Amino acid sequence: MADGFKTRKKALSRHGHWIERWKEGWAIYKKNLLGRIGLALLSIFTLMALASFIPPLIDPMYGPMSGVDPAITASTGPSARHWLGTDFMGRDLFSQLLAGARVAFTVGITSAFVSIVLGTLIGMVAGYLGGWTDVFLMRAADLIMVMPTLLVVLILAALFGQLNIWSIILIIALFRWPGVSRVIRAQTLTLKERPFIDAARVAGASHVRIIFRHIMPNVLPLSFLYMTFRVTAAINIEAALAFLGFGDPGTVSWGMMLQWVWKTGHMFKAPYWLLPPGICISLITLAFYLLGRAMDEVLDPRLRKEGERY
């Protein structure tokens, strides 16, 4: 009974510790102007992604892929009915832009998350176990790191036909973990020499327990920091693929919108069609970059100004 009470108390205190750390981090973050701008931009894109489900409910003609305005058969400029205008088939560009935000988040966050999970696991295992495991995993990381992701995906698409969005996400994730794993490995190498790891080892903790219970909580903040940069890379790669004609044809992404404007010969004629997806790609990658910069400051006290150290 007493043991159970102690365990609950311990858990609550650990929970409280995390909340404290989060509050502390947020206090630093909100002082950072770039971080605030990044977060504001991301909030706008999140709203866009959430709102993307609304237009097709208003009228089927606002369906981003197959909905067309019955009265319009060519690309037209902005109007009250179509806020950003229509593409060459009479499809609403604003609906496509909203749907593109959803795809950008899906691609960016999912592939970044998978690559971070892979990178963190491999980095921790390599750093902790060392020896041949370390050599093997890090050489594998080096091998993948030197491969140009976009080129590899283009070759795969040419060989096996256009890839669907989940295959693209998986490929991006599989090619973007080495950078993270190198950083996490370095962090693990310093952590495993610390007294608390020795204490755990002496107490009889298994390797798995040491890695997941004692090392992982200390490297996770770094992983999340890298995740913001990976999101940016993933969004850019998907957009480039789609623009070059190798995106998922069943998905309305910003890159796909750019491809349509290009391939239908409207590149220099329809700024209302060309600019919005281009601007959105730039802004969302900027937003994640700013978020990452601000998080960097939260995690690394050396980056803060004098007098702001906590």
Partner 1 sequence: MIPKKKKAVFFTVFFLGCLWTGVGFGASKRAAYLKVGLFAEPKTLNIWLASDRWSFSVLSKIYQGLVTRDPETLELIPWLAETLPVYDPQTLSYTVTLRDAEWSDGSPVTAEDVAFTGNLIKEFKIPRHYWRWNFVKAIQVKDAKTVRFVLEKPMAIFLSRTLTTPIVSKKEWEAVAQRARKAGKPLTALMNHKIKNPIGNGPFVLKTWKQGAYLLLTKNPHFFGKGLKIAGHVLGPHVDGVLFKFYGTSDAAILALKKGDIDMYWWSVQAGYLGDLKKNPKITLFRNERSAMYYMGFNLRKPPFNDVALRQAVATLIDKDFIITRILQGDGERMDSVVPKGNKFYYCRPDTLWGAGLSREQRVKAAYKRLVEAGYSWKVPPVDESGKGVRAKEIRLPGGAPMGPFTILTPPADYDPLRAMSGTIIQEWLRAFGMPASAKPMAFGSLLDQVKVRRDFDAFILAYGKLSLDPDWIRAFFHSKNDKVRGRNMSGYHNPEFDRIADLSAATMDKKARRKLICDMQKILMKDLPYIPLYTPKMIEAVRNDRFSGWVNTLEGIGNIWSFCLVKPIRP
For position 267 contacting partner 1 by CB under 8 A, the verdict is: yes
Residue 246 contacts by C-beta under 8 Å, 6 or more apart in sequence?
153, 154, 157, 158, 162, 163
Provide the 3-class DSSP secondary structure of residue 76: strand
- Is 274 a residue that touches partner 1 (CB under 8 A)? no
204 φ/ψ sector (left φ>0, alpha ψ -120 to 50, else beta): left
Encoded one letter per residue, x for contact with partner 1 by CB under 8 A and - for no contact, window 161-190 reads xx-x--------------------------
What does the per-residue mask of binding to partner 1 show for 225-264, with x meaning CB under 8 A? -------------------xxx--xx--------xx-xxx
93-129 helix and 254-263 helix, angle to the nearest 10 degrees: 130
Residues 41-80, mask of contacts with partner 1 (x by CB under 8 A):
------------------------xx-x----xxx-----
CB 158 to partner 1: min, Å:
5
Of 36-44, 110-118, 156-164, 295-303, which segment contacts partner 1 by CB under 8 A?
156-164
Burial label for 154, CB within 10 Å (0-12, 13-18, 19+), is: middle
For partner 1, the binding residue among 35, 85, 90, 276 (CB under 8 A) is 90
Of 148 and 249, CB closest to partner 1:
249
Q: Smallest distance from the beta carbon of 261 to partner 1, in angstroms?
A: 8
Q: Which is nearer to partner 1, 109 or 274 (CB)?
A: 274
Site for partner 1 in 14-43 (CB under 8 A): none
Yes or no: say if 172 and 241 are a contact pair by the CB < 8 Å rule.
no
Residue pair 107/172 in contact (Cβ under 8 Å)? The answer is: yes
Q: Is the CB of residue 103 less than 8 Å from the CB of residue 48?
A: no
CB closer to partner 1, 217 vs 249? 249
* The amino acid at 118: L
Task: Verify binding: residue 285, partner 1, rule CB under 8 A.
Answer: no
By CB under 8 A, residue 269 contacts partner 1: yes
Burial class (CB in 10 A: 0-12, 13-18, 19+), 297: buried
Instruction: Please state the φ and ψ torsions of residue 86, each to the nearest 5 degrees.
Output: -130, 160
CA end-to-end span of the chain, whole Å? 39
Q: Give Rg (Cα) of the chain.
A: 23
- What 3-state class would DSSP assign to 243? helix
Q: How far is the CB of 162 from partner 1 (least distance, A)?
A: 5
Write down the least CB distance from residue 231 to partner 1, Å.
Answer: 26
List the one residue out of 298, 289, 295 whose CA is nearest residue 230: 289
The residue (of 117 and 154) whose beta carbon lies closer to partner 1 is 154
| 48 close to 105: Cβ distance less than 8 angstroms | no
Using the minimum distance from each CB to partner 1, give the nearer residue, 47 or 54: 54
74 versus 303: smaller Cβ distance to partner 1? 74
The whole-angstrom separation of Cα 54 and Cα 152 is 36
Nearest-approach distance from CB 275 to partner 1, in angstroms: 16
Asked if 139 interacts with partner 1 (CB under 8 A), we say no
State the residues that interact with partner 1 by CB under 8 A: 65-66, 68, 73-75, 88-90, 157-162, 164, 244-246, 249-250, 259-260, 262-267, 269
